[in-house]
Structure 1
Amino acid sequence: MASSYTRVLALMVIVEIISLTGGSHQVSAQCGGAIPALIGKCKSFVLIPGPQIPPSSECCAVIKTADVPCLCNFLTPIIEKIVSMEKVVFVARTCGLTVPPGMKCGSYTVPPARE
Protein backbone atom coordinates (compact mmCIF):
# COMPACT_ATOMS: atom_id res chain seq x y z
CA MET A 1 0.00 0.00 0.00
CA ALA A 2 1.21 3.48 -0.76
CA SER A 3 0.69 4.56 2.84
CA SER A 4 2.92 1.77 4.16
CA TYR A 5 5.65 2.56 1.68
CA THR A 6 5.52 6.24 2.34
CA ARG A 7 5.64 5.48 6.05
CA VAL A 8 8.77 3.37 5.75
CA LEU A 9 10.56 5.69 3.39
CA ALA A 10 9.78 8.72 5.45
CA LEU A 11 10.91 7.04 8.63
CA MET A 12 14.28 6.23 7.21
CA VAL A 13 14.72 9.76 6.04
CA ILE A 14 13.67 11.22 9.34
CA VAL A 15 16.17 9.04 11.13
CA GLU A 16 18.96 10.73 9.25
CA ILE A 17 17.41 14.18 9.45
CA ILE A 18 17.38 13.91 13.19
CA SER A 19 20.96 12.75 13.24
CA LEU A 20 22.06 15.71 11.16
CA THR A 21 19.90 18.52 12.45
CA GLY A 22 19.28 17.62 16.05
CA GLY A 23 15.58 18.35 15.52
CA SER A 24 14.39 15.00 16.75
CA HIS A 25 11.87 16.32 19.23
CA GLN A 26 10.07 18.52 16.71
CA VAL A 27 10.04 16.00 13.85
CA SER A 28 9.22 13.11 16.15
CA ALA A 29 6.29 15.00 17.62
CA GLN A 30 4.99 15.95 14.18
CA CYS A 31 5.28 12.42 12.81
CA GLY A 32 3.98 10.24 15.62
CA GLY A 33 7.01 9.94 17.89
CA ALA A 34 8.64 6.91 16.21
CA ILE A 35 11.96 8.56 15.41
CA PRO A 36 14.02 7.26 18.33
CA ALA A 37 12.95 3.68 17.57
CA LEU A 38 13.76 4.10 13.88
CA ILE A 39 17.19 5.46 14.62
CA GLY A 40 17.90 2.63 17.00
CA LYS A 41 16.51 -0.22 14.92
CA CYS A 42 16.82 0.70 11.22
CA LYS A 43 19.64 3.16 10.60
CA SER A 44 22.27 0.53 9.79
CA PHE A 45 20.09 -0.99 7.04
CA VAL A 46 19.63 2.18 4.95
CA LEU A 47 22.84 4.18 5.06
CA ILE A 48 24.68 4.45 1.74
CA PRO A 49 27.88 2.59 2.62
CA GLY A 50 27.79 -1.17 2.41
CA PRO A 51 25.64 -3.85 0.80
CA GLN A 52 21.90 -4.36 1.08
CA ILE A 53 21.25 -6.39 4.21
CA PRO A 54 17.85 -7.80 5.16
CA PRO A 55 16.50 -5.76 8.08
CA SER A 56 16.03 -7.14 11.56
CA SER A 57 12.61 -8.11 12.84
CA GLU A 58 12.87 -5.17 15.24
CA CYS A 59 13.41 -2.75 12.35
CA CYS A 60 10.44 -4.22 10.47
CA ALA A 61 8.23 -3.89 13.54
CA VAL A 62 9.07 -0.19 13.85
CA ILE A 63 8.59 0.48 10.15
CA LYS A 64 5.16 -1.12 10.12
CA THR A 65 3.89 1.24 12.83
CA ALA A 66 5.43 4.54 11.69
CA ASP A 67 3.67 7.55 10.13
CA VAL A 68 5.50 7.42 6.84
CA PRO A 69 3.55 10.04 4.86
CA CYS A 70 4.54 12.58 7.49
CA LEU A 71 8.18 11.53 7.47
CA CYS A 72 8.40 11.60 3.69
CA ASN A 73 7.72 15.33 3.81
CA PHE A 74 11.05 15.81 5.57
CA LEU A 75 13.21 14.15 2.92
CA THR A 76 15.83 16.60 1.73
CA PRO A 77 18.74 16.45 -0.72
CA ILE A 78 21.08 16.28 2.28
CA ILE A 79 19.33 13.18 3.59
CA GLU A 80 19.40 11.62 0.13
CA LYS A 81 23.20 11.92 0.22
CA ILE A 82 23.30 9.80 3.40
CA VAL A 83 20.40 7.39 3.01
CA SER A 84 20.31 4.95 0.10
CA MET A 85 16.80 5.18 -1.27
CA GLU A 86 17.35 1.84 -3.00
CA LYS A 87 18.08 0.31 0.41
CA VAL A 88 15.00 1.97 1.88
CA VAL A 89 12.82 0.35 -0.78
CA PHE A 90 14.61 -2.98 -0.25
CA VAL A 91 14.02 -2.79 3.51
CA ALA A 92 10.37 -1.82 3.08
CA ARG A 93 9.70 -4.64 0.64
CA THR A 94 11.64 -7.13 2.76
CA CYS A 95 9.47 -6.14 5.73
CA GLY A 96 6.39 -7.02 3.65
CA LEU A 97 5.24 -3.54 2.71
CA THR A 98 3.89 -2.79 -0.72
CA VAL A 99 6.10 -0.23 -2.41
CA PRO A 100 4.41 0.79 -5.65
CA PRO A 101 6.55 1.68 -8.66
CA GLY A 102 6.38 5.37 -9.49
CA MET A 103 5.87 6.53 -5.91
CA LYS A 104 7.89 9.64 -5.08
CA CYS A 105 9.58 10.57 -1.85
CA GLY A 106 11.82 13.59 -2.09
CA SER A 107 13.46 13.45 -5.50
CA TYR A 108 13.43 9.64 -5.57
CA THR A 109 10.99 7.69 -7.72
CA VAL A 110 10.49 4.03 -6.81
CA PRO A 111 11.39 1.68 -9.69
CA PRO A 112 9.48 -1.54 -10.47
CA ALA A 113 10.27 -4.47 -8.20
CA ARG A 114 12.91 -6.86 -9.50
CA GLU A 115 11.56 -10.24 -10.40
Structure 2
Amino acid sequence: MARLIASSSSSAAVYCFVVLLINAMAMAPATATETAAAAAVDKCERDLDLLMGSCEEYLRFPAEAKAAPSMACCGAVRRVDVGCLCGMVTPEVEQYVCMDKAVYVAAYCHRPLLPGSYCGSKLV
Protein backbone atom coordinates (compact mmCIF):
# COMPACT_ATOMS: atom_id res chain seq x y z
CA MET A 1 0.00 0.00 0.00
CA ALA A 2 2.83 2.41 0.84
CA ARG A 3 4.36 1.72 -2.58
CA LEU A 4 1.01 2.56 -4.28
CA ILE A 5 0.77 5.85 -2.39
CA ALA A 6 4.38 6.73 -3.20
CA SER A 7 3.80 5.89 -6.85
CA SER A 8 0.70 8.02 -7.05
CA SER A 9 2.45 10.88 -5.21
CA SER A 10 5.34 10.83 -7.65
CA SER A 11 2.91 10.84 -10.59
CA ALA A 12 1.16 13.84 -9.10
CA ALA A 13 4.51 15.55 -8.57
CA VAL A 14 5.52 14.93 -12.19
CA TYR A 15 2.16 16.23 -13.38
CA CYS A 16 2.51 19.39 -11.26
CA PHE A 17 6.06 19.91 -12.54
CA VAL A 18 4.90 19.61 -16.16
CA VAL A 19 2.05 22.07 -15.57
CA LEU A 20 4.42 24.55 -13.90
CA LEU A 21 6.94 24.16 -16.73
CA ILE A 22 4.28 24.83 -19.38
CA ASN A 23 3.05 27.89 -17.48
CA ALA A 24 6.61 29.19 -17.13
CA MET A 25 7.19 28.75 -20.86
CA ALA A 26 3.97 30.59 -21.67
CA MET A 27 4.98 33.51 -19.47
CA ALA A 28 8.62 33.56 -20.59
CA PRO A 29 9.88 36.57 -22.55
CA ALA A 30 9.60 36.37 -26.32
CA THR A 31 12.31 34.56 -28.20
CA ALA A 32 14.80 36.48 -30.30
CA THR A 33 12.87 35.54 -33.44
CA GLU A 34 9.57 36.78 -31.99
CA THR A 35 11.24 39.97 -30.79
CA ALA A 36 12.78 40.59 -34.23
CA ALA A 37 9.43 39.95 -35.93
CA ALA A 38 7.69 42.38 -33.57
CA ALA A 39 10.39 45.00 -34.22
CA ALA A 40 9.94 44.56 -37.99
CA VAL A 41 6.18 45.06 -37.68
CA ASP A 42 6.75 48.15 -35.52
CA LYS A 43 9.16 49.58 -38.11
CA CYS A 44 6.71 48.84 -40.89
CA GLU A 45 3.94 50.61 -38.98
CA ARG A 46 6.21 53.62 -38.40
CA ASP A 47 7.03 53.59 -42.12
CA LEU A 48 3.32 53.59 -42.89
CA ASP A 49 2.79 56.57 -40.59
CA LEU A 50 5.70 58.41 -42.24
CA LEU A 51 4.44 57.66 -45.75
CA MET A 52 0.84 58.60 -45.05
CA GLY A 53 1.89 61.74 -43.19
CA SER A 54 4.00 62.88 -46.13
CA CYS A 55 2.15 61.45 -49.13
CA GLU A 56 -1.50 60.96 -48.25
CA GLU A 57 -2.76 63.66 -50.61
CA TYR A 58 -0.91 61.98 -53.52
CA LEU A 59 -2.32 58.52 -52.76
CA ARG A 60 -6.05 59.23 -52.34
CA PHE A 61 -8.77 58.55 -54.85
CA PRO A 62 -9.75 59.41 -57.56
CA ALA A 63 -7.22 57.47 -59.60
CA GLU A 64 -6.91 60.13 -62.28
CA ALA A 65 -5.37 63.54 -61.84
CA LYS A 66 -2.07 62.20 -60.57
CA ALA A 67 0.02 65.01 -59.12
CA ALA A 68 3.78 65.07 -58.85
CA PRO A 69 4.58 64.26 -55.22
CA SER A 70 6.36 66.79 -53.04
CA MET A 71 10.02 66.53 -52.08
CA ALA A 72 8.92 65.54 -48.57
CA CYS A 73 6.79 62.73 -49.96
CA CYS A 74 9.63 61.46 -52.14
CA GLY A 75 11.97 61.62 -49.16
CA ALA A 76 9.56 59.44 -47.21
CA VAL A 77 9.21 57.01 -50.14
CA ARG A 78 12.99 56.62 -50.25
CA ARG A 79 13.20 55.86 -46.51
CA VAL A 80 10.44 53.28 -46.12
CA ASP A 81 10.52 49.52 -46.65
CA VAL A 82 8.20 49.33 -49.66
CA GLY A 83 8.02 45.53 -49.59
CA CYS A 84 6.85 45.56 -46.00
CA LEU A 85 4.28 48.26 -46.72
CA CYS A 86 2.95 46.41 -49.75
CA GLY A 87 2.48 43.38 -47.52
CA MET A 88 0.28 45.46 -45.21
CA VAL A 89 -2.11 46.49 -47.99
CA THR A 90 -5.43 44.80 -47.33
CA PRO A 91 -8.72 45.19 -49.21
CA GLU A 92 -9.74 47.66 -46.49
CA VAL A 93 -6.61 49.76 -47.13
CA GLU A 94 -7.33 49.68 -50.87
CA GLN A 95 -10.64 51.42 -50.18
CA TYR A 96 -8.67 54.50 -49.08
CA VAL A 97 -5.37 54.26 -50.96
CA CYS A 98 -5.42 54.29 -54.75
CA MET A 99 -2.90 51.61 -55.69
CA ASP A 100 -2.43 53.09 -59.19
CA LYS A 101 -1.31 56.31 -57.53
CA ALA A 102 0.91 54.41 -55.09
CA VAL A 103 2.74 52.77 -58.01
CA TYR A 104 2.99 56.16 -59.76
CA VAL A 105 4.37 57.89 -56.64
CA ALA A 106 6.94 55.15 -56.07
CA ALA A 107 8.15 55.39 -59.68
CA TYR A 108 8.16 59.21 -59.66
CA CYS A 109 10.29 59.16 -56.49
CA HIS A 110 12.81 56.78 -58.12
CA ARG A 111 11.70 53.83 -56.01
CA PRO A 112 9.69 51.82 -58.57
CA LEU A 113 8.04 48.60 -57.54
CA LEU A 114 9.43 45.49 -59.18
CA PRO A 115 7.59 44.48 -62.36
CA GLY A 116 5.54 41.37 -61.72
CA SER A 117 5.32 42.06 -57.98
CA TYR A 118 2.17 42.71 -56.01
CA CYS A 119 1.37 45.60 -53.75
CA GLY A 120 -1.85 44.57 -52.10
CA SER A 121 -3.94 43.18 -54.96
CA LYS A 122 -2.22 45.46 -57.50
CA LEU A 123 0.01 43.60 -59.96
CA VAL A 124 2.82 45.91 -61.02
Paired residues, what number? 85
Within the alignment, does 1:75 sit opposite 2:89 as a pair? yes
Q: Which has the higher contact order (CA 8 A, sep 6+)?
A: 1
Q: Structure 2 stretches of 5 or more lacking a match?
A: 1-38
Cα distance in 2 for partners of 1:70, 1:91 equals 16
Q: CA RMSD in A?
A: 2.3
- In the alignment, which residue of structure 2 is the partner of 1:42? 55
Within the alignment, does 1:55 sit opposite 2:69 as a pair? yes
Q: By percentage of residues, which structure has more helix?
A: 2
Cα distance in 2 for partners of 1:27, 1:85 equals 23
Work out which of the two has the higher radius of gyration on C-alpha atoms and give 1 or 2: 2
Q: 1:99-110, aligned counterparts within 5 Å?
A: 99-110=113-124
User: What letter corresponds to residue 75 of structure 1 in structure 2?
Assistant: V
- Name segments (4+ residues, structure 1) moved above 2 Å: 32-37, 98-101
Give the TM-score, by structure 1 length.
0.63
Cα distance in 2 for partners of 1:86, 1:45 equals 11
**Among the aligned pairs, what percent are the same residue?**
35
Cα distance in 1 for partners of 2:83, 2:108 equals 19
